[in-house]
Structures are given as structure tokens and as C-alpha cells.
Structure 1
Amino acid sequence: MKKKRFLTVLLSIFLPVTTVFLLAFSNLISKKPLNHPVSSQHWPAPKAAKRPNIVLIMADDMGYSDLGCYGSEIPTPNLDQLASQGVRFTQFYNTARCCPTRASLMTGLFQHQAGIGHMTKEPNNAINYDYGVYGYRGEINRNCVTLAEVLKSAGYHTYMAGKWHLGSATADLRPRQRGFDRFYGLLSGASSYLDPVHPRGIWSDNEPVEKVSQPFYTTDAFTDHAISFLQEQQDPQPFFLYLAFTSPHWPLHALSADIERFRGKYRQGWDALREQRLQKQIKTGIVPKQWGLSARPDIYPAWAEQDTTKQREMDYRMAVYAAQISRMDQNIGKLVDQLKKSGQLDNTLLVFLSDNGACQEGGVLGGGQIADINVPAKSGAISYGAVWANASNTPFKGFKHVSYEGGISTPLIVHYPAGISQKGKITATPGYLIDIMPTFLEVSGATYPTQGNGQTIQPIEGKSLMPVLTKGAKQLHDFMFWEHENHRAIRFGKWKAVGMIGQPWELYDLETDRTERQNRASEKPDLVAKLDAKWNEWANTHHVFPKGTMKADFRKEWNFFKVAN
């Protein structure tokens, strides 16, 4: 019965949609900004006389095992090289969703504190993601500061190329208005790679680009503009570059030459691919053998059950997805080459991660028809399917949206030759998005403000990763917390409690079972009660509650959260 209930809940998430996921709660609170305690944190200047440049690169909807250095068969030589000369984290976490991750990453706060507990408002969006309460306004608020604002105040040039997705309904929400000197990219959450048009089109600084020059591919364009920003800088001041790719988020758009490299390579199917990736992860030290492989959900068919035509189609879908990742890696190589040529690579702190686990949106066997793939005008959920996403998240269960390890785990690569002596190290120290802001503050010597934007700024939540990177620290946080769409989790040392929407807590020992195969909740009720109390304490002090109410309740029509009794 428990297995059936789990599968029923999962199935409700795998519907071919990209619309709304949130239960309504009452008791609205004031829309006025809240006052928060003044932060007492101060970050000392780094020991090095020359402050480093900072490059932050984010992939979009990429699974835990999709890079070569994390177990993939997809060639990613440039990221692999950065990993071999830097540090790889095996237990780094995001929020399980695009814009909440970006809100947390940019502010050093939990996403609810920044006002994006769910999704963001966009121009011409039929759904209004402002729920009328502090944690769910659908836009980044003014009780926080962005990485760009803090680093700019410390004398850094600040550049961004790629996906913003932190609100765009009004002009004051754009990147240029939140600390970036230059911007080229998307304000929205997704668009065509080949011919983006408004309202999901390209912006250059504060101006919409009405028509892009062809041939065009977003991954190339974002990187080219990022490099141009660096080349145009004439003074010796350090820079902060945020390069936020849309790869490999749907739609399935890739360049023909890249696709041809992968066609036919996935005819062994998703089950064989998961096992292949797991063995590589074990061999390279990313995953301990004892964790094993999470079971393929029963609602997913076996590869052998597909006829030849469907197998050919699914091979093609995965080939396009692999091509998207390959093209992203090629572009990261272009950026690294530019840093080498300018003599800046050694003194650049470069961080790479993904915004959530692999994406199951669009359906079990993918969204859209095979004829829709690579059609420039198609910008919706033309996707590779939950079966391939399950392989992308090897060895974990769960996906984008949920708080199982497959939803919240991301590769994290840190490369900083001038500041990190460890080369090729793999660390299992847990960390998450709120730790990026304090890390950048520490290396830059910037000071986190207590006042800004005409408001009191909320105290920073995270801790610097530098003790992990330079001294091998084993623990940063006593407790770690997650919530998205009422999927929740809390981690305490090796123990993790996770709850799907409307379901009781499950409990897993991540030291021996990070693939979350053996629920220990019934064995340790006292620990579950302790973690439940701690999670609720966090949720009630970090604007997870109250939830508010959607302006238009599409949930009644779609019945997304039907749960078996």
C-alpha cells in the first residue's frame, strides 16, 4: 500500500505540464516588507592582496550524473578538466526548482525569504504567481541584496549572460536594476534556443531584442556575450560573471552536428544506462558501492517493452539532450580559453552547478511529438521524458520539484588555482545554495549590508565553503532544510527526513542509503518527531508559512495533487 501511495503521488507530478503546483492556505499577511534583525556578520578581507575574479556558471535542469566527471558517458572534457584541477562536491544541494534556486543562489537566503517560494510573475503570463504573502510574491524582494549588488559595492564589475528568472513583470526587477552592469539573456524561465521571441525573447541590458540574427543558438550567444563583456573591460578591477545557461532545459533544441555525435548511442535504453553510470560513479569515487541503485518506478516501462519505432524515437530524444549538454561544455571551454589568454584563470574563482535535478516534465516518455524536436517556433515542454530523467539522476530517486535526493542534488565544481591547493579532490561535506554568497563575500572582502534598497536587509543564512575547500572541513550545518510545493525535507547529520505532499515523514540514513531505499521512520519515531518540530520551527520563521492563495486556482481543473488514501 505504501508503494502504491508513493507511485500515485509521483504520477501526479509527472503530468505533461509546466503550470501550477501549490496548495492554497489562508490567513494572508501584509504585503508590506517585514523588518528583520540586523546582521552582525562581517567578512574579513582575504589574505591575498589581489582579489579574485568570480565566475558562477549554472546549468538548467541537468541531472546529477550528466557530466563525465559525475558518471556520464556524455563527453564533457572542459568541466572534467576543471574538476581535475579543483574540488568536486558530492553532497551539494539546490531547491529542486528553477527560480527558487536562483533566488537562494543570488541572495544567500532561503527562497521564501527572497519572495520566490514558488514561481515568478512574467509579462503576459496567464498565471499570477503572487499569492499575496511575503514568501510567495513571485518576484525577488527588496529585503535582500543580490550577489551583484554586494560585489559591485566592493568595486567589482558585474556581468550576467543567460537566464534571469527572478521576476520581470516590472522594470525594477531586471538584472540591471539588481546590481549587474551588463546583461544579455532571458528574463523568462524558458524559450526557444533557435529563435527566441517575446514575451520570452532576448534582452540586451534593458532593451528587448526584437529579432535575433540567424544562425542563432542561445548557449553560444550567452557565452559569446559573456566573453565580450570581459574583453570590453579596460581597467584592472576584478569582475563577477554570472553565466546562467538554459541547457539542457526543454525544449529539445540542439545543433545538428552535435546531435549526430550521439544518435544511436542510447539504443541500450534507460535501464542499462543507469547501471552503466552507477558503475562509473563507483569507480571514480562519486558514489559508494553500498548505496546501490534506486529502483525504477513501476509506472515507468522497461526499455524492452518498447517497439523498434519507439526505441528509435527515445534514442533520438536522449541524443538531443546529450547534445545540449555537450554544447554547454564546449562553450565553457571557450570561456576558460579566454580567461587563460587574458592571464586571469589562476586568480579566478569558478563555480559550476545545476539549479535542480533532471526534469520529468512532459510525461513518462517525453513531451511533444518527435516532429516537434528542433522546430524553432516550439518553445514548450518538448522533452526527453521521465524515463531518461531517471537515468540523468543516477543513482537517486526523485526529480525536479521534489525533495528526494534526485530532486535536490547537484554537481558542484569549484576551480580556484590561486586559492585552493587541493587538486582533483572529491569532498562529501554537505552544502547548499545559501553557502555561495558567504563564500564569495569571504574571497572578495565584500561586506554584507544591514541596510539597502531603502529597507532592512535580512541576515545572511549560509556559511562559507572556504573551510571545506582549504582545510577539508567535514561539516558546515547542524540542520539543512527544504520546501517546495509542500514537498519538504530536513537533514541532520547522516539522517534525512523527507515528506512528499500530503504524506507522512520518511526517514533515511544517508550514510548507508543515500538512494533512499529503506524508510526507517517506524524504527525511530522520536527522531522523526524531533526533525518534524525542527522543520516546522524553520518553516514558520522563514516565510514558508503562510502559503497564501492563488489568484486563479488552476489546481481544481487539473487536480495535480490527488493522493491515494
Structure 2
Amino acid sequence: MNKRIFAAAPLLLTPFVWAQEKPNVVIILVDDMGYSDIGCYGGEVLTPNIDKLASTGTRFTQFYNTSRSCPARASLMTGLFQHQAGIGQMSEDPGSQKKNGDKDKNDWGTDGYKGFLNRRCVTIAEVLKESGYHTYMAGKWHLGMHGQEKWPLQRGFERFYGILAGACSYLRPDGGRGLTMDNTKLPAPEAPYYTTDAFADHAVQFVNEQKDDNPFFLYLAFNAPHWPLQAKEADIQKFTKLYRSKGWDKIRQARYKRMAKMGIIDKNVGFAEWENRSWDELTEKEKDESAYRMAVYAAQVHCVDYNVGKVIECLKKNNKLDNTLIFFLSDNGACAEPYEELGGGKQEDINNPSHSGMPSYGRAWAQTSNTPFRKYKCRSYEGGISTPLIVSWQKGLGNGKGELCRVPGYLPDIMPTVLEATGASYPQTYHGGNPIYPLAGTSLFPAIEKKTDSLHEYMYWEHQGNRAIRYGEWKAVRDQTGTVWELFNIEKDRTEKHNLAAQNPELLHKLIKEWDQWAARHFVLPKHAGDKEQTN
């Protein structure tokens, strides 16, 4: 990354900080939601509160995540690449500790793959707390759980309510996938209970209980709409007829038309490869069951929306909305696990409180959620790494009109954006004098304010063998299933249909070399202790 930009970053802090009091900061993160699910990005799911937020802010059309949940959270919270923070692959989860008391199975013995946030990084909460902020978190942590020193309160948060694990039952979180309040593990909740509601309610409670006028940072990290498929029946019934009557073919077409009309995508981009049957090829039973799965998924997204409405209403009542910087985004593209067309798990297990894993809605609906892009969660194609991003801050940026920002950005940019808005200082040392890695990102404000058409010369990705690098209009990808790199002109072909590697060998070689150098500098390779350095 451009170190000149990092060195200049403190000089950029003054315009906002001098002009007004420090803003509150709210980051709302959803889990496994596709690029086109919400209304303001073309979806048919009912999301009026999120859409209203977008109408007063800026929507990014080319914002990227890491393609997987815990690495995305690591990058988001630290402003680094996830490997620098220690979570290049997966984070600790229930059952991931080895029985002999040795290292967790997600600790591969190298710096980039420890399975928890290391002490060479700082979280947004740690930085803002040093600057006089209250720091609250509700929802899914997934950044380390075996040892209290890895929990949210030990990483800068003043209050926490949620789950430490990567997934849980929405209806009855229990055991290793149960709830924690601050540093205390809680028993399974009594029915009726629903995580999305409870996470938002506790977020609101933390804000309402604040006794002083100091600014606050709220990180609201929903587990929705990650599997298992569990939603309230009243919400499900808002969608069952729609998906049964339309099916995924018509839903994709309708989304595409709305996205093109909004300007979210180019009207000529077309659809990426389709890996499933057409809707009409399904049996009537398959249609019934698959439509119901999508209805439950949509209900999970819809529930997120009216809980976002609760948070916004809380800010209004406390006269804090105008001076609150709000981000809304997803941690990765929609989830196709277990990579079967119609999903995983038994139909009868939908809404079973004892389930914290499958059932899921399947590959076909995941590709629909990612309309019109290629692939899904875990992959480095656009369907895996593209996220909606809404940024709203009325006092700092003015009352927006739902403008679109087409400048590419990604998760390491969130921390620098927060630092610029708040005037907080990023430390060189922390955790008892440990040297802290320099930020990997840059502030999004120049892009939002239309002062630049580029934030990064290069952008980089790696997860689970999926590799990518973007350079201007070009993107090179090496998929987990492939042995060679592909090359796409992402401005003309964002659905990645036309591999131009053969026509541009020198450019591709340049990008591969740049990716290799980045990987060596940022603990991407080697992955396992004892491995030799991997090169292309």
C-alpha cells in the first residue's frame, strides 16, 4: 500500500474535528448477506429503514470485504489485512481446541494464522476508548474465544452482549455457541427469543444507559442472515408467495433491472455464470421447499431492517442522529454452503431451536442474492467479495440524497475513515509496548466527497487459496479450484466472463509479482509452520 498516504493521514484529521464536536460512530455489520438483497441495492426484500439510511447518505458500488466472516471482522476492526491481525483463515470456535491442551486447530503456527486477534494490532474500540469514547458491542464477535483475554472487553469494549462463536441458534443460543454479557457467560434464554431482536435491544440499552455526553462507538454485528434458517413465522409469510410464484430466474431478472435503473450496475454488464437448473426444471415439491427456504432467509434480512430502525430511532430520541457516523455493510457475499443447489440440512429442521448449523438456502439462491456477480462466499470473484456499503453522517457530510460512490474501497479503509472523523490517534505501540502494524487502508472521505477517483493503486485478497489483486480497471484472480491466474477488465466485465490473460501476459505477470510481494510482506504465506514460502 502507499505509505505516503499513511504518513499524511494525521494531517487529514483536522477539517472534521475542528469544525464540530466529535461524532458518535455506529458500524452495523450483517453476516452472509448478498450484494443485491436489500432494497436500495435492487432487492425485493422489505428493508425500508436501511433504504432510508441510504437515501440520506452514500452507497458504494465497489466496496469489498474479505469473502469470509471472521477474516472480514479482523480487517474491519483493525484497519489491517486479516493476516496481519492473525486471522488469515478461521477464528477459534467451540470444539476447535485440541483435546491435549495444545494449540487450537486454527492456530497453524505462523503469524498470519493464529485464530484470534494478536497483540500487534489494535481495534477501533481500543483506539476510540483512548480518545474518550464509550465503546459498546452487541452481536457476533468471532475474533477469539478460548481465553478471556481474547474477548471484546479485553479488546477495548466497555460493554458487550452477544456470541463469541461464529454461529448460533437464533432461537436458543446455548453451550459453546451461547450468549455472553460483558465477561459472563449466560444460560440459554427462555422463549420467545430471537438474536437479531436481542442484539439490537442491548445496543439501544447501552446507548440509553450512558450517563454523560461523551461520544460513543457502537459495533452492532448481527449473526443474520447466516444459517441456520430461523425466523419469525409472521415475517416468513411476507415472502412465501413471492418466491414460490417467481422462482430464482424471475427474481434475478427483476433485481438486475432495478440495479441497472438505480445505477448500481452497468445496464450492459449481463449475468455471471449460472451453476444451477432453471426454476421450471424443479419438481413442485422442490419449488415449495426451496421457496420456503428463501422466504426464511428474506425474513432474517427483513428482521435486521426493523432492528436497524430501532437503533436509528434511539439515536433520534437522544438527539444524536445528526452527529453519528453510520456504516452498514456485509462481511462477505451470500453463502452457498454446503454448495448444493437446494441447500443443506433437513427441511423439517428449519426453525428448530436446537440447531446452530444447517439448514441453509443453497447455491441457487446464494447466486441470486449476489446478482449479477460470479460465485459466492469464500471465493475471490465479485460474488464472494462485493458488499453493499452505506455511509451516512448528516452533520459531517451533509444530508445526502442517496448518491452513489463508484470509487473502489475495502475493509482496511474503515478504521482510517473513523480516525479522520473522530480525530483519534492511531498508536505506534500498544498492549504494553508492542509495536503496532501501520494501517493498511486509507480514509473513504475523499471518495465520498468526490475529491478523488482512486484510493488504492493496488487492492489485494487471499482466503483459503482464493487469491486476487485489483489494479485500476484490471483484476487478476486465482481461484481455489484453479492452478493458473485469470485476468478480467473489471470495469467492462464485472461479472468476470471474459478471461483476458492470454491477450495480456505482461500485465498479468506484473500483477502476479505484485501479489506475491504483498503476500510475503503481510504474513499471507507461508500458511503452516514448516511450509516453504509459496510462490506462483
What's 2:465 paired with?
Answer: 486
Alpha carbons 1:360, 1:399 under 8 Å: kept: yes
Between 419-428 and 321-330, report the one with greater CA deviation: 419-428
Task: Give, as a single letter, the amino acid of the residue that structure 2 aligns with 1:534.
Answer: E
Q: Deviations over 1:311-369 (max 9, x none)?
A: 00001000000000000000000110111111110000000000000000122211111
What's 1:556 paired with?
Answer: none
What's 1:89 paired with?
Answer: 60
CA distance, structure 2, for counterparts of residue 438 and residue 97 of structure 1 = 22
CA distance, structure 1, for counterparts of residue 409 and residue 234 of structure 2 = 37
CA distance, structure 2, for counterparts of residue 398 and residue 79 of structure 1 = 25
Q: Deviations over 1:529-554 (max 9, x none)?
A: 0000000010010000111069xxxx
Q: Does the alignment pair 1:112 with 2:92?
A: no
What's 1:30 paired with?
Answer: none
Task: Give, as a single letter, the amino acid of the residue that structure 2 aligns with 1:178.
Answer: R
Compute the TM-score of the two structures, normalised by the length of structure 2: 0.94
Q: Deviations over 1:55-104 (max 9, x none)?
A: 00000000000000001011100010011110000000000000000000
* Structure 1 residue 126 displacement after superposition: 6.0
* Structure 1 residue 48 displacement after superposition: 2.2
Task: Give, as a single letter, the amino acid of the residue that structure 1 aligns with 2:409.
Answer: G
Q: Deviations over 1:378-426 (max 9, x none)?
A: 1112100000000000010111000000000000001100011342110
What's 1:553 paired with?
Answer: none
Alpha carbons 2:120, 2:435 under 8 Å: kept: yes
CA distance, structure 2, for counterparts of residue 473 and residue 265 of structure 1 = 42
Residue 495 of structure 1, aligned match among 474, 498, 515: 474
Q: Deviations over 1:125-175 (max 9, x none)?
A: 367111010000111100000000000000000000000000101110000
Q: Does the alignment pair 1:288 with 2:266?
A: yes
Task: Give, as a single letter, the amino acid of the residue that structure 2 aligns with 1:367.
Answer: G
What's 1:179 paired with?
Answer: 156
Query: Gapped runs of 5+ residues in structure 1?
Result: 1-38, 551-565
Secondary structure of 1:481's counterpart equals strand
What's 1:303 paired with?
Answer: 279
Alpha carbons 2:138, 2:161 under 8 Å: kept: yes
CA distance, structure 2, for counterparts of residue 269 and residue 50 of structure 1 = 50
CA distance, structure 1, for counterparts of residue 466 and residue 450 of structure 2 = 34
Task: Give, as a single letter, the amino acid of the residue that structure 2 aligns with 1:390.
Answer: Q
Query: Gapped runs of 5+ residues in structure 2?
Result: 1-5, 99-104, 531-536
CA separation of 1:472 and 1:65: change in aligned 2, threshold 3 A: farther
Identity of aligned residues (%): 54
Q: Does the alignment pair 1:509 with 2:489?
A: yes
Alpha carbons 1:290, 1:513 under 8 Å: kept: no
Alignment of 1:306-345 (within 5 A): 306-345=282-321
CA distance, structure 1, for counterparts of residue 355 and residue 113 of structure 2 = 30
Secondary structure of 1:90's counterpart equals strand
Q: Does the alignment pair 1:225 with 2:202?
A: yes
* Structure 1 residue 123 displacement after superposition: 4.0
CA RMSD, Structure 1 to Structure 2 (Å): 1.4
Task: Give, as a single letter, the amino acid of the residue that structure 2 aligns with 1:110.
Answer: F
Task: Give, as a single letter, the amino acid of the residue that structure 2 aligns with 1:508.
Answer: F
Secondary structure of 2:62's counterpart equals strand
* Structure 1 residue 429 displacement after superposition: 0.4
What's 2:217 paired with?
Answer: 240
Residue 42 of structure 1, aligned match among 10, 17, 39: 10
What's 1:11 paired with?
Answer: none
Compute the TM-score of the two structures, normalised by the length of structure 1: 0.89
Alpha carbons 2:66, 2:462 under 8 Å: kept: yes
CA distance, structure 1, for counterparts of residue 38 and residue 188 of structure 2 = 33
Alpha carbons 1:114, 1:144 under 8 Å: kept: yes
What's 2:418 paired with?
Answer: 440
What's 2:509 paired with?
Answer: 529
What's 2:533 paired with?
Answer: none
* Structure 1 residue 503 displacement after superposition: 2.1
Task: Give, as a single letter, the amino acid of the residue that structure 1 aligns with 2:315.
Answer: L
CA distance, structure 2, for counterparts of residue 379 and residue 126 of structure 1 = 19
Secondary structure of 1:61's counterpart equals coil
What's 1:14 paired with?
Answer: none
* Structure 1 residue 211 displacement after superposition: 2.5
Secondary structure of 2:387's counterpart equals strand
CA distance, structure 2, for counterparts of residue 465 and residue 372 of structure 1 = 43
CA distance, structure 1, for counterparts of residue 198 and residue 520 of structure 2 = 42
* Structure 1 residue 49 displacement after superposition: 2.8
Q: Does the alignment pair 1:73 with 2:44?
A: yes
CA distance, structure 2, for counterparts of residue 126 and residue 380 of structure 1 = 19
* Structure 1 residue 472 displacement after superposition: 4.2
Task: Give, as a single letter, the amino acid of the residue that structure 2 aligns with 1:290.
Answer: N
Task: Give, as a single letter, the amino acid of the residue that structure 2 aligns with 1:241.
Answer: L
What's 1:137 paired with?
Answer: 114
Question: What number of residue pairs does the alignment pair up?
Answer: 511
CA distance, structure 2, for counterparts of residue 275 and residue 528 of structure 1 = 33
Task: Give, as a single letter, the amino acid of the residue that structure 2 aligns with 1:209.
Answer: L
CA separation of 1:472 and 1:333: change in aligned 2, threshold 3 A: farther
Task: Give, as a single letter, the amino acid of the residue that structure 2 aligns with 1:334.
Answer: K
Alignment of 1:377-456 (within 5 A): 377-421=354-398, 422-454=400-432, 455-456=434-435
Task: Give, as a single letter, the amino acid of the residue that structure 2 aligns with 1:42.
Answer: P
